Homo-oligomer: A and B are copies of this chain.
Amino acid sequence: MATAKLSGFPEWLPADRAVEERIIDLLKHTFELNGFAGIHTRAVEPLSALAKDGEIDKEIFAVSRLHSEGAEKNPMGLHFDLTVPTARYVVENAGHLNFPFKRYQIQPVWRGERPQDGRYREFIQADIDVIGEDTLPEHFEYEVPLVIVQAFDALGELGVPPVKVVANNRKLIEGFARGVGLENITAVLRCIDKYDKIGPQRVAELLQEEAGATSAQAEACLKLADIESATAEFAERVAALGVSNDMLDEGVEALVKLIDQAHAQSPGSVVAQLKIARGLDYYTGTVYETLLQGHESLGSVASGGRYDALARTDKRVYPGVGMSIGVSRLMSRLIGKDRVLTATREVPTAVLVAVTDEETRAEANNVARALRERGIPADVSPVASKFGKQIKFADKRGIPFVWFTDGESGHEVKDIRSGKQEAAAADEWLPPAADLWPQVVRVV
């Protein structure tokens, strides 16, 4: 059979998937503690909803029925993020939703980009968004990144390093660019977004090549992009650049508030970094990225921003703010060559019930059933081979206990790590709590 590994479409082995599942569970739990409701949207959207201006359309996977006759009436594509589908979902279901609508969503997304370290063509995102009807209070801009910090704190229990959210405001960049006389704002944002990838020198060149900047204008933009601060002090450094523009002032004020408010609730968790621009075209204000400490080279593991005009009808607008955790990107580092996390076993099974001979398989089945009914994950040996082989079967999978139905004292259970074997009854015996389910642990 065809088994071509498709580059950029990662799949994990069972033990690593257990790590991913645990991460997803912790994210869900954090999101739900904060009042976000889960939704699930279809994988496809009309191409018209995906292919906007900007460069995004290059990354889309188109979807069509293989044997459709003639042109599709509604050409479709796989969603490249979870924000666009949610915006559409909100508009479609507005009459049935209560606003502000706080939702989380954890699903794969697809992009046709060239695969690189931590960048895939199919990857799982974990999004939170808050969407208002007509208006959206700005305090949600402070709260969303703090929920993300809280989510990573929860992952910290597993051994995931802490994060730092870096934030900027598109109005600040746009106002500054306009203030120095630049007009092609889309191009300016696109150039600055490449800062970390290509470095300041090349960004300066690009600003001249693509955004029509003079070298003085490009230099001014770079001075802005270089500003970084854990406090509202960044505002003075922006002021010192001597550029005057109303939108710039508005952006600075919004970012000052964000940094101050986030600092008040969780000191040092959100810092200003004025090179943050984000690639997606729908952001209109605050933008965020998130760096995993010690793994900054991985790029942002959680990004987002405020979008005031993505979800709208002729009559209404649904402004939103959200962030998206790159679960697959995070996984690439956590289970990659410098593995950080692992699962204590590759199967859920805590107990393997040995089968003495095929004639007594029913007895083993009964033991397993009794254990399962009491919430203990149990499996039955697939073949009545020699007990040594059955113990090896458990050992290879990391199953800690093997149950025998014909020990010297009747039913006995063996901890195959210590070799200790003792009499046990399927309606009473319990494994130690730490052995009941596989655990995700830090590799030491």
Residues of A whose CB lies within 8 Å of any CB of B are 1-6, 9-14, 17-18, 20-21, 32-44, 46-49, 51, 57-58, 60-68, 74, 76-78, 87-89, 91-93, 96-98, 100, 102-103, 108, 110, 112, 122, 132, 137, 139-140, 143, 150, 264-265, 310-313, 346-349, 361-362, 365, 369, 372, 375-379, 382-383, 393, 396-397, 437
Contacts and interface: CB of A to CB of B under 8 A. Distances in A.
Q: When A and B form their complex, which 3 residue pairs have the shortest distance between CB atoms, in order from nearest?
A: A35-B379, A32-B348, A9-B42
A122 to B, nearest CB: 5
A3 B137 CA distance: 26
Contact of A37 (B39, B139, B347): B347
Contacts of A397: 98
A349 B37 CA distance: 9
B2 A361 contact: no
A11 B312 contact: no
User: At the interface, is chain A mostly helix, strand, loop or mixed?
Assistant: mixed
B49 A1 contact: yes
A264 B10 CA distance: 43
Contact of A102 (B33, B62, B379): B379
B57 A67 contact: yes
Contact of A42 (B11, B139, B310): B11
Given A9-B42, A61-B63, A98-B397, A349 B4 contact: no
10 contacts: A2-B88, A5-B92, A11-B89, A33-B372, A34-B379, A35-B347, A98-B396, A102-B379, A132-B382, A264-B362
A88 B14 CA distance: 15
Contacts of A382: 100, 132, 137, 139-140
Contacts of A67: 57-58, 60, 112
Contacts of A58: 66-67
A122 B42 contact: yes
A243 B371 CA distance: 45
Contact of A43 (B2, B57, B110, B349): B110
A81 to B, nearest CB: 15
Nearest to A265: B365
Contacts of A92: 3, 5
Contacts of A61: 63-66
Contact of A6 (B74, B379, B396): B74
